[in-house]
Amino acid sequence: MSELLKGLNPAQRRAVEAIAGPVLVLAGPGSGKTRVLTHRIAYLIKTVGVDPYNILAVTFTNKAAREMKERLEALIGPADAHALTVGTFHSLCARFLRRDIVHLGRERDFAIYDSDDQDRLMRRVLKDLNLDEKQYPPRAIHGRISSAKNELVGPEEYARLNRTYYDEIVARCYERYQRLLRESNALDFDDLLVETVRLFDEHPEVLEKYHQRYAYLLVDEYQDTNRCQYVLVKQLAAGRRNLFAVGDDDQSVYGWRGADIRNILQFEQDYPDAKVLLLEQNYRSTQAILDIAQAVINGAGKRKHVKKLWTENGEGLQVSLHEGYDQNEEANFVADEIARLAAAGGLRRRDFAVMYRINAQSRALEEALEARGIPLQIVGGTRFYDRKEVKDVLAYLRLAANPFDSVSLLRVINWPGRGIGERTEAELIRWANELGVPIFQALRELADEESAARAPFNARTRGALLAFLAIAEELIAARRELPLADLIGRIVDRLDVREALVREHGPDEGEDRWSNVLELGNKALDFVNLPVEEQLGAYLEQVALIADVDNMDPQADAVTCITLHQAKGLEYPVVFLIGLEEGLLPHSRSSDDREKVEEERRLLYVGVTRARQRLYLCYAFRRTSYGRTNVTTPSRFLADIPRELLKQPKKRGTAVIAPDSPLFGGRGGSSPKSGGRASGASSWGSSSGASWGSSGRGAAGGRERGRPAGPTEVTFFAGQRVRHGTFGEGVVMGSRLVDGDEEVTVSFADRERRLLASFAKLERVEE
């Protein structure tokens, strides 16, 4: 038997050995699908004798691509590993287009616009069309356009298909937006895919070239493909039909960005001769963790592919459920547990991950971990390349690569300040529109005395504009001669970036930002081995397409803090899932739509199945967001977990969940019985979880639901002694009305707490 098949179970082996024709592998979490992918590639090369040059593998992140290459290097040697093509849809499309975009009558040095660039361009579109940003939020409009692109609907078709007034506005913006992109010789993220599909569509000879080359096509995370990616796969696979798609419909969490779960559900219709293989054995987690995962996912409606997860890993430790008082206590609990487990030995910092729904949740964690001296790495939030000073310097580089890139041009035309204000900028745009040329071209016209005479600028303004043009021209010229690192050096010297940053932000922050700019220079050193003329393009492409998760340092011995979305594909011995509350998971923006709620459920499923040995499910009794504090309702998904699967919290200061608590009852609208709850019962005490946040009030603590406005005056006064079911006796420090509720500050034995009178069931203690 081949060396490469050793250590694989029969199902995995079948997948690896499937040679020809379409194959769909439905792989449960932790079932070794990455292993199957890499071993299949290795098998194709080493056993079947396929030339690695003829293999194309598409992964979901650059990180996954890199890791796959590394594994293959070990498996089949660096030469073969290097010869095959691995990348994300976006990076591959960028590469294809660089090679062949001239077929579409375009220039090769196109810029790639990220979300910030897209937003800026959309604002300009709205200005051009005299539309009010308040009424038509640029991001909302762009969202519509992006969805249309994902569906391969162009501006004309969009205009034809849609009938409402709003649609009509969007259609006009779409048309203009595309026109400006083209004028700027730029593609946005969506265009990378759309234009590749178009290229293949309009130029069969180009597609044919890829059919010849890529005899074997492998696609990971197939459930996350959108319509456009689906078509692209179809185009590429149409040649030899050796498509090997791997995915898990239960882990589909990218519907919001166009991923269409139907792509995986309809695989068999699309490819009638497809083999469908199931990977159900889990090698990652303990049975206790899988039971939780199963409970969560079984709470979903009917599913097309029901996988029965099982493992030989043994029962393992019971999963813990923990209620914190607020997000700080929640974070403290997490940090204390990490410290405790790390001290107990056997676990390193990097064995821990804390996962959450939204990036903003990382803040409290950061504080708690730092307070204990526990190193952490936060994945996500603001990317390094999204920092203003970094983007500003980058804009000059982008301008050097492609002077028609109007977003970059306008970004830095007055940075550092050179006396070109809003007024001048608007005039410049207007004038360029009038001439019908890109903005950079208009600037060049200005250098010519005769044209300048007709331009709407006075001598001083013209001087400022020409000063900017001179810098741009200098960089464009330097680009061909200087290595990338020197080009960056030229920019920061010529513009005195450090001085500008200190002037703008003061010495402390200024130096901070300056160090980010220096870091930018460091990253450029990765490209020194390329020929000078290729360095800039390669660098800019990487900057545009790299994700934050791609930068994670797996070597660092630090606790990982990461969103559930980014955590997909990762695994850790110990996982904390925090903020399991209505409004957060499911997120409030998703709670009203059945489909979206199901996606949120799958997100929790993804989180649960990241854990290998220990799993903690956490939520807080109160949470502060936007500076407002609200009482929370535990996530409805917790109600799908049988209570006996969970270790109950015992610590003082945490809730003891009553046997008849709706948390462990059935799902759906049955409201809790008002009697029968054990004293000291759950301090959140709320209802079925159909609503959350402030609307969760009123059903609290056996009080009447639908209570009208709330108290109009305080009923507690400083100095009174009170008793609370959980916290014991305390003294009222003060009380005030907040949002139609009474917030009482009470000093308990351990510390001061603020409680809402409607929830907290405070009894007055007579003396």
Partner DNA sequence: TCCGCCTAGGTTTTT
Partner DNA sequence: CCTAGGCGGA
Which positions are catalytic? 33-34, 220-221, 251, 610
Element containing residue 594 per DSSP (H, E) = helix 594-608
Binding-site member from 54, 185, 235, 566 for DNA (CB under 7 A): 566
For DNA, how many residues bind (rule: CB under 7 A)? 44
Q: Which is nearer to DNA, 232 or 290 (CB)?
A: 232
What is the amino acid identity at position 77? G
Tell me if 596 contacts DNA by CB under 7 A: yes
User: In the window 170-189, what residues touch DNA (CB under 7 A)?
Assistant: 189
Q: How far apart are CA 701 and CA 705, in angstroms?
A: 10
CB of 656 to DNA, least distance (A): 31
Q: How far apart are CA 76 and CA 78, in angstroms?
A: 7
**Which tokens sit at 540?**
């800019």
Q: Which is nearer to DNA, 187 or 397 (CB)?
A: 187
Q: Which stretch binds DNA (CB under 7 A): 83-91, 262-270, 339-347, 753-761?
A: 83-91
Q: How far apart are CA 62 and CA 405, in angstroms?
A: 26
Q: Which is nearer to DNA, 405 or 541 (CB)?
A: 541
User: In the window 38-77, what residues touch DNA (CB under 7 A)?
Assistant: 60-62
Q: Which is nearer to DNA, 258 or 730 (CB)?
A: 258
Tell me if 417 contacts DNA by CB under 7 A: yes
CB of 30 to DNA, least distance (A): 21
DSSP state at residue 561: E
Q: Which is nearer to DNA, 424 or 560 (CB)?
A: 424
CB of 720 to DNA, least distance (A): 27
Element containing residue 621 per DSSP (H, E) = none
Element containing residue 410 per DSSP (H, E) = helix 406-412
Tell me if 424 contacts DNA by CB under 7 A: yes
Q: How far apart are CA 411 and CA 472, in angstroms?
A: 13
Binding-site member from 247, 380, 569, 698 for DNA (CB under 7 A): 380
**What binding mask, one character per residue, do residues 533-562 give for DNA by CB under 7 A, x or -?**
------------x-xxxx------------
Neighbours of 592 (CB within 10 A): 9
Q: Which stretch binds DNA (CB under 7 A): 343-351, 609-617, 620-628, 640-648?
A: 620-628
User: In the window 574-593, what residues touch DNA (CB under 7 A)?
Assistant: 587, 589-590
Binding-site member from 213, 234, 418, 444 for DNA (CB under 7 A): 418
Binding-site member from 85, 414, 516, 648 for DNA (CB under 7 A): 414
Q: Which is nearer to DNA, 19 or 547 (CB)?
A: 547
Q: Which is nearer to DNA, 170 or 259 (CB)?
A: 259
Tell me if 88 contacts DNA by CB under 7 A: yes
DSSP string, 393-455: HHHHHHHHH-TT-HHHHHHHTTSS--S--HHHHHHHHHHHHHHTS-HHHHHHHHHSHHHHHHS
Binding-site member from 12, 38, 91, 635 for DNA (CB under 7 A): 91
**Which tokens sit at 143?**
């969202």
* CB under 8 A, 24+ apart: contacts of 726-731: 726/652, 726/653, 726/654, 726/655, 726/680, 726/683, 727/653, 727/753, 729/765
Taking alpha carbons only, the member of 698, 705, 638, 647 closest to residue 665 is 638
User: In the window 317-336, what residues touch DNA (CB under 7 A)?
Assistant: none
Q: Which is nearer to DNA, 243 or 606 (CB)?
A: 606
What is the amino acid identity at position 518? L
Tokens 């400022």 belong to: 464
* Residue 277, CA atoms < 13 Å, CB-side half-sphere: 23
Tell me if 461 contacts DNA by CB under 7 A: yes
Element containing residue 403 per DSSP (H, E) = none
Neighbours of 221 (CB within 10 A): 25
| Gyration radius of the chain over CA positions | 29
Please state whether beta strands 741-748 and 728-738 pair in parallel, antiparallel, or not at all (unpaired): antiparallel
Residues in touch with DNA (CB under 7 A): 60-62, 88-91, 114-115, 133, 139, 189, 256-257, 357-360, 380, 414, 417-424, 461, 545, 547-550, 563, 565-566, 587, 589-590, 596, 625-627
